[in-house]
Amino acid sequence: MHYRNHGYSSYRCDNKKIKLMKFYNREKEISILREIEVNSKEIAKMTVMVVRRRVGKTTLLKRAFEKSTVIYFFVAKKTRCYFAKSLHAK
């Protein structure tokens, strides 16, 4: 995956042009996440990231932990009805 600092890059998927967002310098956030990782070696910790859509949460986590083994668990917000139907479908 390539990150460019000048403008947006794009790629094609199923003949549709997809625009990739820029990844701005997030050293402060990456530093905080890495500090949590170091501290978790002494005492187990779970970090929850709750932020609005499309701001680069996944990319931030991938960058912060690119040299580490971590568990990434995604939870989608669904209505109870939709969630119940998806459980019964299996």
Structure confidence by residue, pLDDT tens digits, 6-27: 344 455 666 666 666 677 788 9
Domain carrying residue 41? 24-89
Task: Examine residue 12 and state whether it is found in any structural domain, yes or no.
Answer: no
CA distances from 27 to 30, 44, 60, 61 (A): 5, 24, 10, 12
Residues paired with 17 in a beta bridge: 12
- How many C-alpha atoms does 70 have within 13 Å on its Cβ side? 23
Please say whether the beta carbons of 18 and 10 come within 8 A.
Answer: yes
Domain count, the chain: 1
Task: Examine residue 8 and state whether it is found in any structural domain, yes or no.
Answer: no
Q: pLDDT (tens digit, 9 = 90+) per residue, 19-68?
A: 666 777 889 999 999 999 999 989 888 888 888 888 888 889 989 999 98
32: three-class secondary structure by DSSP: helix
pLDDT score recorded for residue 75:
77
Task: Examine residue 28 and state whether it is found in any structural domain, yes or no.
Answer: yes
Task: Examine residue 80 and state whether it is found in any structural domain, yes or no.
Answer: yes
pLDDT score recorded for residue 14:
66
* Residue 82 pLDDT > 50: yes
